[in-house]
Structure 1
Amino acid sequence: MADIHVEEFYKDVAIALAQLYATFPRRTNLFVEDIAGPDEPDEFGLHSKRHMACFGALLWLQEEGLLRYVDTIRQEALDQAVLTREAFVRLSAPAPQSLARKLNALPEEANLPASVQQDLSTYTHLLRAALKNGSSTRISLAVQAAFFTDFSAEGLH
């Protein structure tokens, strides 16, 4: 089992990327509270470790080239964030069906229209299904598969 901060990181990343994909190509503000939950700064105005970890995950996504933003809004949000081309292409790409089945992201019914099957086979669908399920293991696997798997190893370019 991973350390709790790593599981929270994967969940924060999945939520942020799902939000950005849902609004792509529009720019949107990514609020830490929408991802990590409400936070009450202490008597010195400092945020909790959880809040700062989520904010750090958002900054890390930018440093790794998965999102862009115009500015930060204090330590509360990223102003006018959008997915990069690399992240959009990866989230839109079909995931291996074996992975989708492993994460229970594909319904058992095989008589779905081709367009629905295509939508259900993307990495973004895997992230959404894992988030809906709530299992930290599934969320971690979905994020790892989406961004830490080599495209060339899957025959995708």
Structure 2
Amino acid sequence: MADIHIEEFYKDAAVALVQLYGAFPRRVNLYVEDIAGPDEPDEFGLHSKRHMACLGALLWLAEEGFLRYVDTIRQEALDQAVLTQEAFIRLSAPAPDGLVEKLSGTVDTAGNPLPPSLQEDLSSHIHLVRTALKSRHSRHIGQVVRAALFQE
């Protein structure tokens, strides 16, 4: 079992990548609260560790070349964020077969093989990230994010 902050990083990265992929190629504001949940700054105006960890994950994605943004909006959001070409290509590309079969499947409910075009759509990294987020299973989210970002 991974440390909780690593599991949260994978979830934050997954949510951000799905949001940016869904808007691609438009630039959008990427709000930390939309990813990590609501946060009330304390009496000194400081955000929670969870909020700051999510912001850190977004900034890390930018530093590592997965997204670009124009500026930060205080510690609330990334202004005009967009996926980089490399990230878009990785998310659109097919994931390893073992991961696809484990998380998405290539057969219908009757056990018949899916049409090749549908298999291709269901085997993309972005589809697996969406599927893992819907499952809310932290191990699956971690697996697909690692596969998408680090090409396992």
Moved more, 113-122 or 23-32: 113-122
2:83 is matched with 83
Amino acid at match of 1:83: L
Matched letter for residue 124 of structure 1:
I
Q: CA deviation at 1:107?
A: 5.2
* Pairing partner for 1:140 from 136, 139, 142: 142
CA–CA distance in structure 1, aligned partners of residues 79 and 65 of structure 2: 16
Q: Is the 8 A contact 1:27 1:81 kept in 2?
A: yes
Aligned partner of 1:155 in structure 2 is none
Contact 2:104 2:131 (8 Å CA) reproduced: yes
> What CA distance in whole angstroms lies between the structure 2 residues aligned with 1:129 and 1:46?
34
Match of 2:70 in 1: 70
Shift of 1:115: 2.3
Residue 113 of structure 1 and its aligned partner are, at CA, apart by 3.0
Q: Specify the alignment match of 2:116 in structure 1.
A: 114
Please give the TM-score of this superposition, normalised by the length of structure 2: 0.94
Query: C-alpha separation between the residues in 2 aligned to 1:20 and 1:106?
Result: 25
Give per-residue Cα distances to partners, 1:78-130, cap 9 Å, x unaligned: 0010000000000000112211122x222531443332221101000110000
**1:24 is matched with which residue?**
24
TM-score (norm. length: structure 1): 0.91
Q: Quick check: 1:105–1:130 contact (8 Å CA) kept in 2?
A: no
Match of 1:100 in 2: 100
CA distance in 1, matches of 2:41, 2:67: 27
Contiguous gaps of at least 5 residues in structure 1 = 151-157
Moved over 6 A (4+): none
Q: Give the whole-Å Cα distance in 1 for the aligned partners of 2:131 and 2:43.
A: 39
Query: Which amino acid is 2:129 matched to?
Result: L
* Contact 1:72–1:79 (8 Å) recurs in 2: yes
Q: Secondary structure at the match of 2:104?
A: coil
The SS at the match of 2:80 is strand
Please provide the CA RMSD for this pair: 1.1
Structure 1 residue 138: Cα displacement: 0.2
